[in-house]
Structure formats: C-alpha cells, structure tokens
Amino acid sequence: MKDIPYKIYLSEHEMPKNWYNLRADMKNKPAPLLNPGTLQPITAPELSGVFCEELVAQELDDTTPFFEIPEEIRNFYKMYRPSPLVRAYCLEEKLGTPAKIYYKFEGNNTSGSHKLNSAIAQAYYAKKQGLKGVTTETGAGQWGTALSMACSYFELDCKVYMVKVSYDQKPFRREVMRVYGASVTPSPSMETEVGKKILSEHPGTTGSLGCAISEAVEKAITSEGYRYVLGSVLNQVLLHQSVIGLETKAALDKYDIQPDIVIGCAGGGSNLGGLIAPFMGEKLRGEKDYRIIAVEPASCPSFTRGKFAYDFCDTGMVCPLAKMYTLGCDFIPAPNHAGGLRYHGMSTTLSQLYHDGLMEAVSVPQTAVFEAAEQFARVEGILPAPESSHAIRVAIDEAMKCKETGEEKTIVFGLTGTGYFDMVAYEKFHDGLMEDYVPTDAELAESFAKLPKV
C-alpha cells in the first residue's frame, strides 16, 4: 500500500487524450430528443441551425465510445487541469470515521467550477466552424463566466443573457464576464422578439432561466455566424465533462484505490455525468460495481420525486423535448441558493441510468447542506459552492454511517466549485434566515398534469 498524498495530481502526459461517451456502453440508450413541432426524433440538420455541427454529431452519437480531445482543447486544459484529487485527511480525522474520503476539486479556475471543461470545447468547435460568436443564458453565472473565458481565448464574440434578478443581485459575476469581453444583457430584454413579448405581458418581471434560454436561442438563430451553446443537460456536455471522471479514475488507479461510493450533485447532470462516466462504464460492462449517488436539493427533486417522461427542456417550449426525470417545465423551484441545481429536468443519459436502477438519488434540505459546507470549509480550507455542498452533505452522511459500522469504505465525491460569489447565501445561513423549501405533492401533481402528451 503506497502512501497516499494529500493531493493526487496527474502529470501532463497522464491527462486524458479522449473523452468517454458513456452512452456507447449503455444497453438501454437514452431516448432521442424530439422535434417540438413534429414530435419526431430530431435530426442533425434540424439541430445544426442551433448548435455547431461537430457538437450536433457528438450529441446524436450513442455508439462511439471515445472522442479524441483536440490538441487546442488539451492545451487549454493544461492551463487549469489536471484538477487535484484530494484526500480529505482532515475531514476524516474531524469526523472520526474509518472511511477514506476523496474529492475531485474543480474550483481552481476563474469560472469557479467544472463548467469550463465544456465551455472551451464548445467554443473550440464554434471557432473551427468559422463562426463569429455564440449566445447563451446564465442564471447564477458560473456557466456564463466559463463561456466568456473560453470565447476570450479563441477570440469569439460571446453574448450572454443573464436572468435579470441575478444580473441585479450578482453584479460581480457580471463584471467577471466583462473582464473576459462578453456582452451581458439582463433578460428579458428588448433585444429579442421573445424578450419584448414577455416584457409587454409582464412588465417588471425579474426573468427566468427559461426566458433567457429563449432569448439566447432566438439571438443565435437570427444572427449571421452565431450558434447557441448550453452548459448542462445535453449529451455533448456530459461527454466533455467525462474528463473529470477520467482524471479521477486515473489518479485512483495510480494508487490502486477502489472506490465503494461515488457521489455528485445533480442539477442538469453535467458534473455528475462527467464524474461517474468511467465508473459507470465499468459497471455497465460488468467489470466492477460501485454505489453511485446523485444528490439534489429537496426543493427541486427531479430524480427523487419527478416523472420519467418526455418534457420540454425550456420553459418557453421552443427547445426539443427530452425523455428525462422532470418536475414539469412549468415548475418554478423555490429560491434555493444552489442556483445551479434549480433545473426542472435532468440529463437523458442519467435519467435512463437511474430508471434502470444503476444509480441512486437522494434529496437534501439546504440548511443541512450549508452545515456540511461550513464544516468542510473549516477543516479542508476550501469554501465550497452551495451546489457542490450537496455532495459534501451526503459524503459526510455516508462517512458517519461507516463510523457506526466500522467499515473502511472509500468514498469519492465531486467538489464542483467554489462559493466566493455565494456569500449572500452563507450570510443567511449564519443569520439563521435560511429556509428549507419542499414542494408539496399537490404542487407537483399540478405541474405533472401539464406534461406534454407524447
């Protein structure tokens, strides 16, 4: 047994050269996206008006197991990757648990999260296609920041529609995007037809992610040389994010470490899908077994209380339909502070895996999440993002079960990002003003009733 360092880093030549496409190993493939007009499986030409061509190919390919990471992207990855796999020695000691806890820390880059892994890939393919720029939406702002950084690197124009309430409440996030040369517009805006329509119907609205998506899509479709990009949910995003899991597995393999449990927070699924990819692959191929746990907020419990059904990916119902665990595209989650987990649906790939019993899911209330966040920060030093702290909560819970049973389980969780721009949430927590929202059965039933009949 080798000595395990506090942080396991891969060297540059040990970094992944390919992304892993989990779908290739799935017996039950995720159901295809449907064209919202025809309700037929959407085709590459249909998608190519919205997304870059190579990304469309990645989106629709469920048989090719590996996609080579282009050298330009690997060079960018080298600026902030490999991310460390950290042995949480101090947390283990503090908990008094025999469990061995590791976390893959994705927060050591200016976007503050794993989102950059896909942003740089999407920007690269846009550049390669000769596009002028890309459009997107952002809520909490991590995705927008990541995309701004990526576009700045490839000298692409970047147009971000930021949900108005976040634009006003998070001026610093907006400012980081400006550092990277992005134009940031509060949504709804007068720049798009859909924005104008919403503003005339709901003057004074503070916006929503669904509306921002609609504006970004409209802008992309109506502007010469632009495409729309998205930071989660899509298969292409999970493909790019597989770099997280591949690095994690390579680092563990270097020290002959076999995890028992792999834990990640789940919003749209980009981090979780990336982290678990190679582990789930082994499980699907019958080579190894792991417990894999998705953690979601009790206020937005897509897996644990949602329906597995076709639904729209956006509130405006202009995007394709996906078969996924969903709370209904009209469902407005209560104001949980983990903005990155407030999505009504879930990646189709993860949805299928969960449906097939290949992974577990738990939901946790936000005060318990912030308790775990603070406990973690105090012993491990890192100030975690609220989203990431969902995984911390369950990692600690599992480690405490080991303390009771005496089992020396190996737990790996994804620490997706830092919380520097979430101090309002921490302040509420400290001041005892944080509330735990849980949707009622009646609320969910009402939302489910509006699911499209497919």
- What's the rounded Cα separation, in Å, for the pair 122 and 45? 18
The minimum distance between CB 106 and its own copies, in angstroms, equals 12
Nearer to its own copies, 82 or 268 (CB): 82
Which residue's entry shows tokens 């702002």? 141
The minimum distance between CB 78 and its own copies, in angstroms, equals 4
User: Could you report how far apart the first and last alpha carbons of the chain are, in Å?
Assistant: 54
The minimum distance between CB 339 and its own copies, in angstroms, equals 16
Which residues are near its own copies by CB under 8 A? 5-7, 9, 11-12, 75, 78-80, 86, 89-90, 108-110, 112, 149, 152-153, 171-172, 175-176, 178-181, 374, 377-383, 418, 420-421, 423-424, 426-427, 430
Nearer to its own copies, 180 or 325 (CB): 180
The minimum distance between CB 297 and its own copies, in angstroms, equals 20
- What's the rounded Cα separation, in Å, for the pair 279 and 294? 14
Nearer to its own copies, 177 or 277 (CB): 177
The minimum distance between CB 108 and its own copies, in angstroms, equals 5
Lateral strand order in the sheet of 226-228 = 183-187, 157-163, 133-138, 226-228
- What's the rounded Cα separation, in Å, for the pair 262 and 271? 12
The minimum distance between CB 378 and its own copies, in angstroms, equals 4
Nearer to its own copies, 14 or 46 (CB): 14
Nearer to its own copies, 50 or 391 (CB): 391
Residue 143, amino acid: W
Nearer to its own copies, 90 or 317 (CB): 90
The minimum distance between CB 107 and its own copies, in angstroms, equals 9
- Select from 137, 120, 158 the least CA-distant residue to 217: 137
The minimum distance between CB 400 and its own copies, in angstroms, equals 20
The minimum distance between CB 229 and its own copies, in angstroms, equals 18
And the tokens for 322? Answer: 């996906």
Nearer to its own copies, 93 or 356 (CB): 93
Interacting residues of 303 by C-beta distance below 8 A, sequence separation 6+: 266, 294, 296, 325, 346, 354, 361, 363
Nearer to its own copies, 153 or 354 (CB): 153
Nearer to its own copies, 112 or 210 (CB): 112
Nearer to its own copies, 152 or 205 (CB): 152
Phi, psi values for residue 102, rounded to 5°: -125, 150
Interacting residues of 297 by C-beta distance below 8 A, sequence separation 6+: 333, 336, 338, 341, 342, 363, 364, 365, 366, 369, 390
The minimum distance between CB 372 and its own copies, in angstroms, equals 12
**What Rg, from alpha-carbon coordinates, does the chain have?**
21
The minimum distance between CB 195 and its own copies, in angstroms, equals 24
Nearer to its own copies, 76 or 226 (CB): 76
